[in-house]
């Protein structure tokens, strides 16, 4: 029998007739992430996905780490499969978890018996295996209430599996199971977190970055591309659409009152993002906006900036505290890159006194000084695309 990785499904188990669709997405995503670690057979049964190495040179440590970042999985376990025999289970536990027993002061055995044809109940098997392990490791006492080591035994259809403590999975839904969306990706803390959070709900993302060279540097663009690269570990394959934004910002600066700069700039961002969404079959836009955080994120400003759109705008961070956003950024590995001192286009031509409670009719009048369609076409024609594989 083989060393194996078990992936426990999360919300997928609650699905009805569509369960197989979500399960297929999860398996496909797992296979894609596992390719660089060797040849694996990946299949699902009884709400668990099995990841079986097909050769001895598979990188099991790398595969295990990759699976902890896979959306749709609530726990990840490296286990040893064995025959469905009480003595085989004991021998497997004794050898496979020997190192864990050397480090623990107490243990218990916990059994789940999915195969009801197995001749012992879960409690009987736990007691049998636990008794033999207690004799084998007499210096490790039995503690059924608060053990340092829990020996997990799972008796399933094809085999029995022995493992220690499961690792937490990423949760959520498999990427791609709930459609596609454009996410506005800046170099700040918020937008990578909002991208991660909405991808966790099963959305395949098309990141869009607005680049204003020479007002923003090449290092600023590389910073955003590094954020996208980091996100691929969880969000899957990403193609970043880099939109040249310099001319639009210069036109806004030259033809619009200063207090409206940011509002009109964001209206252009929304329009262009919706065009990109339409080209990619996306059904929504995603932003890192957080209510009241800056002048362009008041309720009045949000209404004005999304007014040109027909697609919905998803704002995962809208009611979150900044400390909580930072905590997620640290957890997913984007924080240190986000705080690098390279500014993005949102800092270009920042008004000294921005309008925080704009009226739509005033904004439309100010915006009428611009050839909106010509500027959008020019920006769309200049898009650069950078692809990131897992």
Do residues 276 and 163 both lie within one domain?
A: no
Alpha helices per DSSP H over 238-355: 246-255, 261-279, 299-306, 322-332, 335-338
Among the three residues 170, 197, 215, which one is the final residue of a domain in this structure?
A: 170
Do residues 207 and 254 both lie within one domain?
A: yes
Among the three residues 115, 137, 170, which one is the final residue of a domain in this structure?
A: 170
Do residues 191 and 308 both lie within one domain?
A: yes
Model confidence at 1: pLDDT above 70:
no
Among the three residues 148, 170, 192, which one is the final residue of a domain in this structure?
A: 170
Where is mean pLDDT largest: 2-16, 38-52, 167-181?
Answer: 167-181
Do residues 166 and 206 both lie within one domain?
A: no
- Residues 5-30: what's their mean pLDDT? 92
pTM to 2 decimal places: 0.90
Window from 7-16, 86-95, 121-130, 226-235 with minimum mean pLDDT: 7-16
pLDDT band at 74 (very low <50, low <70, confident <90, very high): very high
pLDDT at 95: 96
| CATH number of the structural domain spanning residue 78 | 3.30.2130.30
Other residues' Cβ atoms within 10 Å of the Cβ of residue 279 = 13
pLDDT at 126: 97
Do residues 190 and 149 both lie within one domain?
A: no
- Residues 115-124: what's their mean pLDDT? 94
Do residues 280 and 200 both lie within one domain?
A: yes
Taking a C-beta distance cutoff of 8 angstroms, is the pair 158, 115 a contact?
no
Do residues 94 and 58 both lie within one domain?
A: yes
Residue numbers of the domain that contains 49: 3-170
- Residues 130-140: what's their mean pLDDT? 97
Beta strands in the chain (DSSP E): 3-9, 40-45, 48-53, 73-82, 106-113, 141-142, 149-155, 160-163, 167-171, 180-184, 204-211, 238-244, 285-286, 313-314, 384-388
Taking a C-beta distance cutoff of 8 angstroms, is the pair 162, 93 a contact?
yes
The answer to whether residue 307 is domain-embedded is yes
pLDDT at 350: 81
Do residues 125 and 244 both lie within one domain?
A: no
Model confidence at 222: pLDDT above 90:
yes
25 three-state secondary structure: helix
| DSSP assignments along 98-155, one per residue | HHHHHH-SEEEEEEEE--TTSSS-HHHHHHHHHHHHHHHSTTSEE-SSS-SEEEEEEE
Do residues 51 and 122 both lie within one domain?
A: yes
Q: How many percent of the chain have pLDDT more than 70? A: 100
The answer to whether residue 189 is domain-embedded is yes
Q: Angle at Cα 59 formed by Cα 55 and Cα 63, nearest 5°?
A: 110
CA distance 66 to 390: 10
- The DSSP output letter for 12 is G
- Residues 206-233: what's their mean pLDDT? 95
Q: Compute CA 99 distance to the chain's CA centroid, rounded to the nearest angstrom.
A: 33
CA distance 269 to 265: 6
Question: Between β-strands 160-163 and 149-155, what pairing exists: parallel, antiparallel or unpaired?
Answer: antiparallel
pLDDT at 283: 97
Taking a C-beta distance cutoff of 8 angstroms, is the pair 152, 163 a contact?
yes
- Residues 184-211: what's their mean pLDDT? 97
Model confidence at 58: pLDDT above 60:
yes
Q: Give the gyration radius of the chain's Cα atoms.
A: 26
The answer to whether residue 80 is domain-embedded is yes
Nearest one of 254, 262, 271 to 301, comparing CA atoms: 262
Do residues 66 and 147 both lie within one domain?
A: yes
Report the chain's mean pLDDT, rounded to a whole number: 94
pLDDT tens profile 157-195: 889 999 999 999 999 999 999 999 999 999 999 999 999
Taking a C-beta distance cutoff of 8 angstroms, is the pair 187, 324 a contact?
no
How many domains are there within the chain? 2
Do residues 204 and 309 both lie within one domain?
A: yes
Do residues 159 and 37 both lie within one domain?
A: yes
The answer to whether residue 103 is domain-embedded is yes
- Residues 131-137: what's their mean pLDDT? 97
pLDDT at 47: 84
The answer to whether residue 175 is domain-embedded is no
The answer to whether residue 229 is domain-embedded is yes
Model confidence at 271: pLDDT above 80:
yes
pLDDT at 16: 82
pLDDT tens profile 345-375: 777 778 888 888 999 999 999 999 999 999 9
Model confidence at 235: pLDDT above 90:
yes
262 three-state secondary structure: helix
pLDDT at 385: 97
| CATH number of the structural domain spanning residue 357 | 3.40.50.620
pLDDT at 320: 96
The answer to whether residue 146 is domain-embedded is yes
pLDDT at 45: 85
Model confidence at 10: pLDDT above 60:
yes
Instruction: Extract the tokens encoding 234.
Output: 């969880």
pLDDT at 326: 97
């Amino acid at each position: 029998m083989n060393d194996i990785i078990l992936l426990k499904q999360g919300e997928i188990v609650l699905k009805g007739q569509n369960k197989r669709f979500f399960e297929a997405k999860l398996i496909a995503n797992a296979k894609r992430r596992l390719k660089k670690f060797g040849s694996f057979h990946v299949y699902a049964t009884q709400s668990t996905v099995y990841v079986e190495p097909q050769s001895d040179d598979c990188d099991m440590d790398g595969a295990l780490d990759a699976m902890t970042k896979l959306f749709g999985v609530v726990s990840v376990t490296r286990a040893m499969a064995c025959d469905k025999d009480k003595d085989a289970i004991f021998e497997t536990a004794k050898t496979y978890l020997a190192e864990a027993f050397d480090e623990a002061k107490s243990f218990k055995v916990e059994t789940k018996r999915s195969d009801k044809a197995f001749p012992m109940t879960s409690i009987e098997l736990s007691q049998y295996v636990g008794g033999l392990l207690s004799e084998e490791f007499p210096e490790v006492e039995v503690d059924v209430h608060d053990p340092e080591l829990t020996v997990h035994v799972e008796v399933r259809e094809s085999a029995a599996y022995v493992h220690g403590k499961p690792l937490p999975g990423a949760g959520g839904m498999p990427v791609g199971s709930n459609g596609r969306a454009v996410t506005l990706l800046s170099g700040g803390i918020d937008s990578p977190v909002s991208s991660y959070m909405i991808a966790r709900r099963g959305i395949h993302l098309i990141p869009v970055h607005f680049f204003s060279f020479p007002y923003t540097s090449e290092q600023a663009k590389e910073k955003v591309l590094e954020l996208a690269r980091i996100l691929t570990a969880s969000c899957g394959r990403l193609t970043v659409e880099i939109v040249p934004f310099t001319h639009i910002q210069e036109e806004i600066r030259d033809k619009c009152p200063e207090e409206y700069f940011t509002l009109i700039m964001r209206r252009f961002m929304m329009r262009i993002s919706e065009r990109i969404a339409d080209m990619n079959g996306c059904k929504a836009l995603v932003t890192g906006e957080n209510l009241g955080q800056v002048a362009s994120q008041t309720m009045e400003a949000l209404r004005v900036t999304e007014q040109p759109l027909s697609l919905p705008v998803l704002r995962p961070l809208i009611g979150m505290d900044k400390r909580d956003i930072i905590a997620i950024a640290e957890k997913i590995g984007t924080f240190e890159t986000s705080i690098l001192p390279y500014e993005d286009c949102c800092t270009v031509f920042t008004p000294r006194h921005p309008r925080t409670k704009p009226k739509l009719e005033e904004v439309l009048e100010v915006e009428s000084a611009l050839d909106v369609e010509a500027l959008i076409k020019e920006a769309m024609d200049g898009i650069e695309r950078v692809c990131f594989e897992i």
